C-alpha cells in the first residue's frame, strides 16, 4: 500500500471514529491553550495517564502531551486562570489515594506533585468508573478535551468539569430564591 493511500485510510479511520486527534508533540501547550479558550460551561478536560482509552464519540478532542501529569495540570490550570469565562471543578480518582508505592513505584511522589500542581484548587474524589461515567454522560451534549500524558501510573488522571467563571452556586441559589419569591408575590396579590 502506498504511503499516500495509507495516510488517507488512517485519516478516514480517525475521522470516522469521531475523536479528533491533535498530534501536537512539542507544541502541545499551544494546542491546549487554543482548546481551553474554546471550551465553556459543562465542558470537561481530562489530563490523563498514558493508557487512558481513546473515545469514539464526536466532541472528544485529544492532545498528546510529551510530559507528566503534574506539568500538564499546572499548565492547564494556568490557561484556565487566564480566562474569565470558566473555572474548574477538579476531580481525582478515589483509588489513587490507596495505590501503594510497592505496586506502583513512584505513585507517592506523583501524588505530592499533583497536589502542588493543583494551585490550591479544591478537589473531589470519586471512584474512577464514576468519573468516566460522568465524563461520558457529559460528552453526549458537550465537548471533552483529553490531554494524554506520558505518566504510566494507575488512577492518576485528573478530571476537570468547567463551571462558569463569573457565576457561582451561591449566586445561582440567590437568583432562584428571588425568582421564587417574585412568583409567589404575583400569585398572592389580591384580584382587583
Q: Which domain holds residue 143?
A: 13-166
pLDDT value at residue 21: 53
In a domain, 1, yes or no: no
In a domain, 45, yes or no: yes
What is the Cα–Cα distance from 35 to 56, expressed in whole angstroms? 19
- Give me the CATH number covering residue 23: 3.40.1650.10
In a domain, 182, yes or no: no
Structural domain total, the chain: 1
What is the Cα–Cα distance from 154 to 131, expressed in whole angstroms? 14
In a domain, 149, yes or no: yes
pLDDT value at residue 169: 78
Grid coordinates belonging to 72? 500538564
pLDDT value at residue 185: 87
In a domain, 96, yes or no: yes
pLDDT value at residue 113: 97
Q: How far is CA 133 from the centre of its chain?
A: 13
Q: Where are the beta strands (DSSP E) in the chain?
A: 20-22, 44-48, 60-64, 86-93, 123-126, 144-148, 158-164
pLDDT value at residue 171: 85
In a domain, 133, yes or no: yes
Mean pLDDT, contiguous 10-residue spans, the chain (192 residues): 41 43 72 91 95 82 96 96 92 96 96 95 95 89 94 97 86 90 83 68
Cα dihedral value 63, 159, 35, 114, nearest 10: -70
Q: Where are the beta strands (DSSP E) in 136-182?
A: 144-148, 158-164
In a domain, 184, yes or no: no
Q: Under DSSP, is residue 95 helix (H, G, I), strand (E, B) or coil?
A: helix
pLDDT value at residue 20: 53
Amino acid at each position: 500500500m502506498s504511503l499516500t493511500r495509507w495516510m488517507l485510510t488512517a485519516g478516514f479511520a480517525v475521522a470516522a471514529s469521531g475523536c479528533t486527534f491533535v498530534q501536537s508533540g512539542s507544541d502541545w501547550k499551544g494546542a491546549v491553550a487554543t482548546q481551553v479558550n474554546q471550551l465553556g460551561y459543562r465542558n470537561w478536560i481530562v489530563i490523563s495517564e498514558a493508557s487512558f482509552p481513546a473515545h469514539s464519540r464526536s466532541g472528544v478532542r485529544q492532545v498528546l502531551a510529551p510530559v507528566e501529569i503534574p506539568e500538564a495540570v499546572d499548565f492547564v490550570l494556568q490557561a484556565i486562570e487566564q480566562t474569565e469565562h470558566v473555572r474548574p471543578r477538579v476531580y481525582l480518582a478515589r483509588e489513587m489515594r490507596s495505590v501503594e508505592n510497592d505496586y506502583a513505584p513512584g505513585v507517592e511522589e506523583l501524588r505530592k506533585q499533583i497536589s502542588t500542581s493543583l494551585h490550591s484548587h479544591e478537589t473531589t474524589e470519586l471512584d474512577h468508573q464514576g468519573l468516566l461515567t460522568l465524563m461520558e454522560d457529559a460528552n453526549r451534549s458537550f465537548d471533552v478535551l483529553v490531554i494524554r500524558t506520558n505518566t504510566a501510573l494507575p488512577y492518576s488522571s485528573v478530571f476537570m468539569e468547567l463551571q462558569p467563571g463569573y457565576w457561582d452556586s451561591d449566586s445561582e441559589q440567590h437568583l432562584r430564591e428571588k425568582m421564587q419569591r417574585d412568583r409567589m408575590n404575583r400569585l398572592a396579590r389580591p384580584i382587583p
